[in-house]
Structures are given as C-alpha cells and as structure tokens.
Structure 1
C-alpha cells in the first residue's frame, strides 16, 4: 500500500512539474491573413498609407504563461506598396528605404507583458541597417479551430517610430517626422 501510494505521489508530482510547452505558430502570409502596414502624415493634411506585401514570421504563445510569448518577423522592403507606382519607386530608393542596400527589415521580440486582452511587446527593430528597441501595443484578437482541422491565433499591434532614429533623413516637413507601423497577424499552429 505504501509503495503504491508513493508511486502515485511521484507520478502526480512529475505531471505537475512538467512545464507546458508553448505553442508554435507560423504567420499566415500565404492565405493573406496577415499584414504589415504603415501610415504617415502627408504635409500634415492627410494620411498616407502603405504596406509591405512580402514578409514571413513565426511566434510562440502559451496561454498558461503568456508573458513568455515570442515573435520574429522579417520584411522584404522592396515589397513596399503605397498604391502609387512613382511614389513607390521613390520610397524604395536611397532617399527612404534604400532597398538595394537594405533589402530586409526585421523585428525580434525581447519580452511580452499580457494585461487581459491587451499586451505590451518589446523588441528590437532593424530598419535601414539601424537597430533600435521599440514597444508594440498589442490586442489579442482571438484563437480557435479553423475549418480545415487546424488551430489559429491572432493579434494586432502598432508602434510609432521617429524616422530620423532609423536613418531616414529626407525632409518631409515637421508633421511627418514619425510613422506608425501596424501589424495584424494570424498564426497557424505548427
């Protein structure tokens, strides 16, 4: 009886002590269920919106330990699209993104703090060869089974960067010194 009780206790402790592994997700860019967009004031009179059409990424998330979440996103800067061919050519050139010299931008998280459905994601953004810390305000959109037998989880977030901090020196006027970057991601559990 003692041996059986001891064995049961050891087994119970082993189950409790076993950490729950975070779930790994790949960002669904093939199904067009994710986006990386930006907006910047145009002369202080309106907003100019753009996006990056090509990017990849993955993240991990554990509902029991959400503060251990991690994400990595790599953007093809030449995929910039502001819905105007001539402007896009200028934005891809050396005055702005200089895509020949800096073909990729990358964000890698360093910490996450969840507060209910919202969170604060800190990480390192590399843009135009400059690496700086940024903080992204995050909203958890939802999670659940999809119609194809998989499981999905979605988040949206945004951050505002000062262009000069990342080597953008082209003078757009005082109203256009900052740009907002917005991410909307839907991940498919691996």
Structure 2
C-alpha cells in the first residue's frame, strides 16, 4: 500500500515538474521577427506571393517535451499585402477574405507530434473566411537561446497547404491556383 502511494506521489511530482518546465512565449511581431507569408500559382506560370502584416500570438514550449507545446495565433485578414493595391482590394472583398464580415482568422493547436531532430507536426484548427477546419503544419525548430537584451528566445518555421474552396472561397482562379501555401516564421520572446 505504501509503495503504491509513494509511486503515485512520485509520478505526480514528475508530471508536475515536467509541465512546470514549459515556458510561455509571446510571438515577436513588434520587432518584426515573425512573418506569415503565402504563395499561390498565377495561371500555372509563376508564383504570386504576399504576407499578412498584422498578427499576434503566444505559445508554450519545453525542448524536453515538445509534444506538450501549444500555440495560438490570430491574424488580421485585412492586413493582406501582395504588393499590389488593386489586387489587395480584391482579396479583401467578397470574392476572397470578405474582411468586412470576417474580422479575424485564428489558429489554435490541438496536438504536437515530435518527429525528432527539431521537426514537428503541429495539428490544430484554422479559421478563415468564417470556416474552421483542421490543418497540419510541418514545423521545424530553428534555434533557441539568450538574446543580447537579457531575454530568451526560441524560433520555428513551418509550412502548410490547403484548398481555397475548403474555406468557401470559390472564385475561379483556374485549376493551377486551387491550393494556397502558407509559410510561418515564428520567433517567441519568453514572458
């Protein structure tokens, strides 16, 4: 009986200790050390690229237990920037992001799979254009450590791909432009 109680207390203590090691980070958008970029084929001949200029988020991370990480990101879809004002106006309109109706997009992780060597699969729900669907982000840890200002940082890069039609954006761009590719570069500052 006593051995069972001691084992339970030790297991609980180990669980609490490993959870306590996770640190909370704020994504460094203020210092512009993070980006959310996209690309989509233009007529099948080239790539149209752009980014979202306004987003924010937080994550928790422990290098010893990466599968326990959590991430939450909120994007302002009206901040879309494809380096072409008329195109951006169209992208903000009803044919695509409908930013007057859908003021934000969100990603919330639900599960992290540690693939080893800093590689991760980040599963979660992505809301865009008023539709929420599960996506998977193929991520990789870039690095972590102290910064020159006395803080501590960790950074990741990740990619995902989805069909525009999955998020009720059905404007016909042609078959070569059915999918959009997203790249995230995330640097967090320890809170």
1:113 aligns with 2:113: yes
Instruction: Within 5 Å, give how 1:20-99 maps onto structure 2.
Output: 20=18, 21=20, 22-99=22-99
Q: Which moved more, 1:28-37 or 1:115-124?
A: 115-124
Q: CA deviation at 1:101?
A: 0.4
Q: CA deviation at 1:16?
A: 6.0
Match of 2:3 in 1: none
- What per-residue deviation string (whole Å, max 9, x for no partner) do you get for residues 129-165 of structure 1? 0000000000110000000000000000010011100
Match of 1:19 in 2: 17
Match of 1:155 in 2: 156
Match of 1:144 in 2: 145
Q: CA deviation at 1:19?
A: 1.6
Match of 1:3 in 2: none
Q: CA deviation at 1:15?
A: 11
- Gap change, CA 1:14 and 1:79, over 3 Å in 2: same
- What per-residue deviation string (whole Å, max 9, x for no partner) do you get for residues 16-66 of structure 1? 634232100000000000001110000000000010000000000112211
Structure 2: which 5+ runs fail to align? 1-5
CA distance in 1, matches of 2:35, 2:172: 27
Q: Secondary structure at the match of 1:165?
A: helix
Q: CA deviation at 1:172?
A: 0.1
Q: Secondary structure at the match of 2:17?
A: coil
- Gap change, CA 1:14 and 1:48, over 3 Å in 2: closer
CA distance in 2, matches of 1:100, 1:175: 28
Match of 1:181 in 2: 182
CA distance in 2, matches of 1:16, 1:97: 48
CA distance in 2, matches of 1:16, 1:103: 43
CA distance in 2, matches of 1:161, 1:175: 13
Q: Which moved more, 1:108-117 or 1:51-60?
A: 108-117
Alignment RMSD:
1.8
- Gap change, CA 1:64 and 1:41, over 3 Å in 2: same
The size of the alignment, in residue pairs, is 181
Larger-gyration structure (1/2): 1
CA distance in 1, matches of 2:151, 2:173: 45
CA distance in 1, matches of 2:92, 2:70: 29
CA distance in 2, matches of 1:14, 1:58: 29
Q: Which moved more, 1:140-149 or 1:112-121?
A: 112-121
